[in-house]
Amino acid sequence: MSETFVKEISPFVRCVEWLGIPRDSKATILVMLAGTLGVSAILILTYGNIFAAVAFVGLTIVATLTLFRVEWGFYLFIGFVLLFDQFIIPEFDPITLKVAYFHNIKEIPYLPSISAAVLNPLEVQLLFILAVWFGVLCYRKNRHLNRIPAWGTMVAFYVGIIAFVVYGLKTGGSFLPALWEVRALFYFGAMYALVPQIVQTEKDVRALLWVCILAISFKAFQAIERFIHLGFTFRGIATLTNHEDPVFMFTLVVLLFALVLFNAKTSQRFALLLLLFPLMMGFFAGQRRAAYAAIVPTLAAFFVLLPPRQTWAFIKGAFPFLILIALYAGIFWNSESKLASPVKLIKTALTKDKEEEGDRYYSNLYREQEKYDLAQTVKTAPVIGIGFGNKYLQPLKLVPIAFPLRDYIPHDEVLWLIVKTGAVGYFLFWFFLDCFACHGANVFMKLKNPYLKAVCALAVVAAVNQIVVSYYDLQLTYYRNMIYLGTLMGLVPALEYIDARSSHIADEQVESPLGESNG
């Protein structure tokens, strides 16, 4: 490259040198030039739309990092999924929603409208990660591939999902509703298969968990800020978080329990101890009855999973908290204080009395009528269901709610699955989950590394947590839920491989100490 050319772009060269990159790096200079020209072109084409320019810069950075290290791109992907909002929260319009990460590109207001752009940024990023990973796999022929647990049952389940989509369309169903119904399930499957191929070392596991901790904690602080802004009240707003955020926050509490019980020496344990109160406050601000309902089943599954030594430690540690919770419930059971909000949520789920249920009465009544409609629909096609894309029957006509897919997707998504796929699809779903749970529990018992053991416990009980929540709320079709669950469940084979490799290396070091030959 001539000195004249370098002088002409001296501002870019100084920037490169400031970053610590050699000034004669042609590739770096060309990339910076291309980026500058790209931003200029975006600003001209969009008449000065700064959001579009920022999106272009962000896209360039994400793509570059992914090409450099595919695992870095994956960490960014998970961070974006947990950080950005899929749905509107009434009275709040945060930047995490304005990014429109989960909207089809053609619907994003700050980007040029392209009618054919039916993918969303999430899908574009995921497809790019898959392409880069496949390229790396082809280039590095010695890269290890982890076996996917219960892969046969998973394949059977997804073949069934595709078949029920086709069946639904053949019987008069609509394509777009069918797509919205199964989209999140396919995200889950992609994560379940991809995570064990990308996460290859304990360092990778720690990095991924740090991303989850930071992003979920940010959502907790976001909820706390809103609660403070409203004067420590809810002002009639049902929730100050996304519906799924309290579910995520509770998984971090479970992870903390596991790290403490297995005495895992890690900075994540210390960080989660510091973040415990903000996470609990964020959980409280979420005001989701489904998240509260999942606490006991999730902790029960965690308790069953524990070895005897940790079981007694868990009992001794939990007993004082159970006493405090019992006292709190007894004191505030009939209270109208702000502090009684969690108790009120639990009461509304247990009682059928209109006065006790208060504002939640009509919500509960709607869900009961909805379940009746689902039960009647199942009777019409108990074996193979009605297929995706078809509306469920409404012998009890439901009142209108602000959800365009109301007639296709009910709140109770465990019953929704049997309505759409019948006994056949329902069996495939549970068979897959049961096989995973058995395999995960088996891996958990074999792991020797305390940190990996704690993460494995989280991965297994997260499935229980998600199913219970999905029984009460629409959370098998939420993108963020299913990506997060697929990520945690996909860690299990990676943990097994990492622990086995570490044990093998340790055995080799014992057999062949430093300075001695193998012979």
Q: Please provide residue 92's backbone torsions phi and psi, each rounded to the nearest 5 degrees.
A: -130, 140
How far is Cα 42 from Cα 112, in angstroms, rounded to an integer? Answer: 10
> Which band of pLDDT confidence, cut at 50, 70 and 90, is reported for residue 213?
very high
Q: Which of 34-48, 113-127, 329-343 has the lowest mean pLDDT?
A: 34-48
Which three-class secondary structure state does DSSP give residue 87?
Answer: coil
State what percent of residues in the chain have pLDDT above 90. 53
Mean pLDDT for 487-492 is 96
Per the document, the length of the chain is: 519
> Which band of pLDDT confidence, cut at 50, 70 and 90, is reported for residue 19?
very low
Q: Which of 81-90, 192-201, 346-355, 425-434 has the lowest mean pLDDT?
A: 346-355
pLDDT at 28 over 90: no
Neighbour tally for 500: CB within 10 Å: 14
How far is Cα 486 from Cα 490, in angstroms, rounded to an integer? Answer: 6
Q: Please provide residue 428's backbone torsions phi and psi, each rounded to the nearest 5 degrees.
A: -60, -40
Residue 382's pLDDT is 94
State what percent of residues in the chain have pLDDT above 70. 80
Residue 361's pLDDT is 74
In terms of Cα–Cα distance, which of 397, 410, 402 is closest to 472?
410
Residue 5's pLDDT is 42
pLDDT at 341 over 60: yes
Residue 1's pLDDT is 45
Residue 517's pLDDT is 42
Q: What is the pLDDT of residues 287-302, one digit of tens each?
A: 888 888 899 999 999 9
Residue 208's pLDDT is 96
pLDDT at 490 over 90: yes
pLDDT at 54 over 90: no
Which of the two residues, 106 and 73, has the higher pLDDT score? 73
What stretch of H or E contains 64?
Answer: helix 50-68
> Which band of pLDDT confidence, cut at 50, 70 and 90, is reported for residue 31?
low
b/e map 99-130, b = 16+ CB within 10 Å? bbbbbebeebeebeeeeeeeebbbbebbebbb
pLDDT at 34 over 70: no
CA distances from 456 to 25, 191, 409, 500 (A): 44, 16, 32, 14
pLDDT at 474 over 50: yes
Which of the two residues, 124 and 38, has the higher pLDDT score? 124
Reading the block at residue 284, the tokens are 């409280």
How far is Cα 341 from Cα 381, in angstroms, rounded to an integer? Answer: 41
What stretch of H or E contains 142?
Answer: none
Q: At a CB cut-off of 8 Å and minimum separation 6, what does 509 contact?
A: none
How far is Cα 83 from Cα 211, in angstroms, rounded to an integer? Answer: 10
Q: Which of 57-71, 279-293, 322-336, 450-464 has the lowest mean pLDDT?
A: 322-336
How far is Cα 270 from Cα 273, in angstroms, rounded to an integer? Answer: 5
Mean pLDDT for 86-99 is 87
Residue 518's pLDDT is 42
Q: Which of 114-118, 262-266, 313-317, 355-359 has the lowest mean pLDDT?
A: 355-359
Q: What is the pLDDT of residues 173-205, one digit of tens each?
A: 999 999 999 999 999 999 999 999 999 999 999
Q: At a CB cut-off of 8 Å and minimum separation 6, what does 328 contact?
A: 343
Positive or negative torsion for Cα 30, 31, 33, 37 = positive
How buried is 384 (Cβ within 10 angstroms: 0-12 exposed, 13-18 middle, 19+ buried)?
middle
> Which band of pLDDT confidence, cut at 50, 70 and 90, is reported for residue 312?
confident
Strongest mean pLDDT among 21-25, 61-65, 377-381, 402-406? 377-381
Mean pLDDT for 47-72 is 76
Place of tokens 């319009």: 93
pLDDT at 140 over 50: yes
Mean pLDDT for 453-472 is 94
Which three-class secondary structure state does DSSP give residue 92?
Answer: strand
Q: What is the pLDDT of residues 414-437, one digit of tens each?
A: 999 999 999 999 999 999 999 999
Reading the block at residue 173, the tokens are 């169903």
Contact 459, 208 (CB under 8 A): no
Contact 219, 83 (CB under 8 A): yes
Residue 226's pLDDT is 93
Mean pLDDT for 261-266 is 92
Average pLDDT, the chain: 84
Contact 107, 62 (CB under 8 A): no
How buried is 275 (Cβ within 10 angstroms: 0-12 exposed, 13-18 middle, 19+ buried)?
buried
How far is Cα 13 from Cα 28, in angstroms, rounded to an integer? Answer: 9
Which of the two residues, 472 and 161, has the higher pLDDT score? 161
Q: Which of 11-20, 42-51, 225-234 has the lowest mean pLDDT?
A: 11-20
Place of tokens 């009980």: 461
Mean pLDDT for 484-489 is 96
How far is Cα 405 from Cα 477, in angstroms, rounded to an integer? Answer: 11
Q: Which amino acid is at 365?
A: L
How far is Cα 214 from Cα 210, in angstroms, rounded to an integer? Answer: 6
